[in-house]
Chains A and B, each alone.
Chain A
């Protein structure tokens, strides 16, 4: 099977070179053909996208843009549309994730970009959506308008499907030209979205591009970074750092590094009736995309004093993971990942010898590992359904071990009573956590969330002020002046 991915605006008669990326899953082979532009073609694309977006997108109202995105999302939510079918068929091969997991994941993700959610998205950041269309009066007098950059370059990473939509749609909402570089691990979905978008709104055909080059390609990146007003980068700190060295000081860089997340469970969620559901929710957060997301939990802190003890909860969690394995099996790991998993597991086993309170559940040939421990250090696992359950008495006991990692903390999934929720949220917020969410919802952030504590749109735009003085001054020069 061969599939051409990406999306290019009209740059005339050009021969586009492609790079073939091969994916195999359970005997199915998919060759993905990704556009690899020459420097000159890259320049043509950036110019085209800049011009078109300033002529077309910038002259559309935010309401129009939202409704176009909404229509495109409708198409992708429709299980009978060819695009959706293609995504459901090809994404499992590309990413290795289970088909059903992808299907459900896509739906729950795409739902967040429908009209009402998008409106919320805009209001969330700007208060008044019309700021994107026109100068709006301000309380302090004067007027302001939010102007998006001419060109945003997105450098995506990772294999979690559809994730590029967050930044791409944000870029569209601020009426910018957008060029996205897909990752080699999931080069498919961003281009697919672009194709749908242009099908429902042909006038946008030259306003965006989705391309590929090998991450870290210095010459290419240096060149294109020069043309971009904003670069939104995803990846490890090492790759972001090397990216930042190639970005000129006049280009704004918004780096999204890798992050680590965890869950916290109150004893209130551990009575005999609720504990099973709690474990079910926790297990879902682990199995969804095999913990590859920045929002995926690696540790569950479980408070002592419930009807179900933390150690028993670990056992519940192990059972839930085992039953999820039947419904949504883990993707096939590479030899490297398997070896890492086995070593991680073995090491946990070995350390449990000198620590009688520590327990390692499951066997090497299980597709998950749960470790129960008391007073353990805060540390990510090797992902792919490996998790630690750590017992605690008071929330204050676990905070110090997280403190050194404030730069890389992200989500905390919480199962607790309202009072506790707010008390804990306060504590976690102080040490660097930027998102508190329900257990079972860790892998699907709400529309308008502050990704890593930042703003989706506000960080992209530039505010233009008309000060009151200018307005007043202009009055002198009006034709109607007496």
Chain B
């Protein structure tokens, strides 16, 4: 199959309402054949695992590539230099960032818009937005910057704004926006990285301010808030989010996305944490046992693997470092496998890297 054919097929799928298991399977296998043929490093990866087009019979057999691989090789079916855009992963291994190449952003954009509408906007067509993240111009290789720019452009009213200044959150501006919303009664949406919200809490706490946003207002946070001045528990985070901004926890939506994917996953609010997350009909998530690769039973912990059909140019199946548990039609995100510390006195990789960069005492 040709790239254009794949893209066209995908655009149709993205616009459809659903996909039967058979259809998903068929599309995934087609895509696997395309990627196996055109993505050389991926082909080697599959061969190492003894998997070829002939032996892969179901989308579940498609070898999942660990996210780290993006830092090591160019996982792309077309020459990297021909890509319209590449997004860079945030995490680094010894200073190297991974790149995810997109020959065109057509699919990525449609995937984002379609599912954002369904899970965040719902019946609302446009909403006044405040964005707690740098602009796309400031961070051209950040998929999150692209995501938020698209959200604002497609679903934000004219009065939507970025609320970051040169030194982080522009507090005055944020307060202005929130006050304006309180007064006008017009629903307001605040979107941004989870850690920006943590900073916002801290700033507002200093001056003892909190708000009561009008009904219909929403919050979207994404990413984690590790390594902040204070470790936040999920429950505490959403409690605070809801208290400070006056938005019910059911309208505080968390988006779970990865640079290595071309689609996003969401929960339906955070009244209870951890919330159940799920993705669009063109993405399926499996929870597997890391050594055998077999799916674990419902209610058991395992590692999260996504098969995202919109990832047409790189690899459809991604092995994450996230732990999860299958629940009904979705899964619980139970956190990231941190570089596990040895149980004995042998050094862990992270500490090792730190040792070399610290000055000798």
Contact for B351 among A237, A296, A340, A347, CB less than 8 A: A237
Task: Please provide the chain A residues from 294 to 328 with a CB less than 8 Å away from any CB of chain B in the complex.
Answer: 294, 296, 298
What chain A residues lie within 8 Å of B41 (beta carbons)?
350, 353-354
Among listed A7-15, A189-197, A253-261, A454-462, interface-contacting one: A253-261
Most buried by A among B65, B321, B349: B349
Q: Identify A159's interface contact among B48, B65, B343, CB under 8 A.
A: B343
Question: How many chain A residues have a CB neighbour from B under 8 Å?
Answer: 55
Does the CB pair B346–A258 fall under 8 Å? yes
**Could you tell me how many residues of chain B have their Cβ less than 8 Å away from some Cβ of chain A?**
43
User: A367 → chain B, closest Cβ, in Å?
Assistant: 8
Q: With A342-B66, A343-B66 known to touch, is A365 a contact of B291 (CB < 8 Å)? A: yes
A263 at the interface (CB under 8 A from B): no
Residue pair B290, A259 in contact (C-beta under 8 Å): no
Does B1 touch A at the CB level, under 8 Å? no
Instruction: Kindly count the residue-residue contacts between A and B in the assembled complex, taking CB atoms under 8 Å apart.
Output: 154
Q: Which residues of A contact B293 (CB under 8 A)?
A: 364-365
**CB-contacts of B63-78 with A (<8 A):** 65-66, 68-69, 72-73
Give the residue name and chain of the A residue nearest to B66 (CB): A346
Partner pick for B303 among A236, A339, A350, A360, CB 8 A cutoff: A339
Alpha-carbon distance A456/B230, docked complex (angstroms): 39
Complex interface: chain B residues within 8 A of A365 (CB): 291-293
Minimum CB–CB distance for A457 against chain B, Å: 21
Cβ A408 vs Cβ B347 within 8 A = yes
Taking a contact as CB atoms under 8 Å apart, the answer to whether B66 and A258 are in contact is no
Contact in complex: A238, B351 (CB < 8 Å): yes
Contact with A along B220-254 (1 / 0, CB 8 A): 00000000000000000000000000000000000
Residues of A267-296 at the interface with B, using a CB-CB cut-off of 8 Å, are: 289, 291-294, 296
A351 interfacial contact with B, CB 8 Å: yes
Nearest CB of chain A from residue B46's CB, rounded to whole Å:
11
Q: B347–A342 contact, CB under 8 A?
A: no
Residue pair B345, A158 in contact (C-beta under 8 Å): yes
Contact of B343 among A185, A238, A343, A347 (CB under 8 A): A185
Q: How far is the CA of A360 from the CA of B48 in the complex (A)?
A: 9
Q: Once the chains bind, are A292 and B342 in contact (CB under 8 Å)?
A: yes
**Nearest neighbor of A261 in chain B, beta-carbon distance:** B346
Q: Which residues of B329-348 are within 8 A (CB) of A?
A: 337-348
Which A-B residue pairs are the 8 nearest by beta carbons? A292-B344, A258-B347, A294-B345, A404-B356, A346-B66, A338-B290, A158-B344, A350-B69
Query: Interface on B for A, CB 8 Å cutoff?
Result: 40-41, 44-45, 48-49, 65-66, 68-69, 72-73, 289-293, 301-303, 319, 321, 323, 337-349, 351-352, 354-356, 360-361
Q: Can you list 13 pairs linking A and B with CB atoms under 8 Å apart?
A: A260-B346, A292-B342, A337-B340, A340-B340, A346-B66, A346-B68, A347-B66, A349-B45, A350-B45, A353-B73, A380-B346, A404-B355, A405-B356
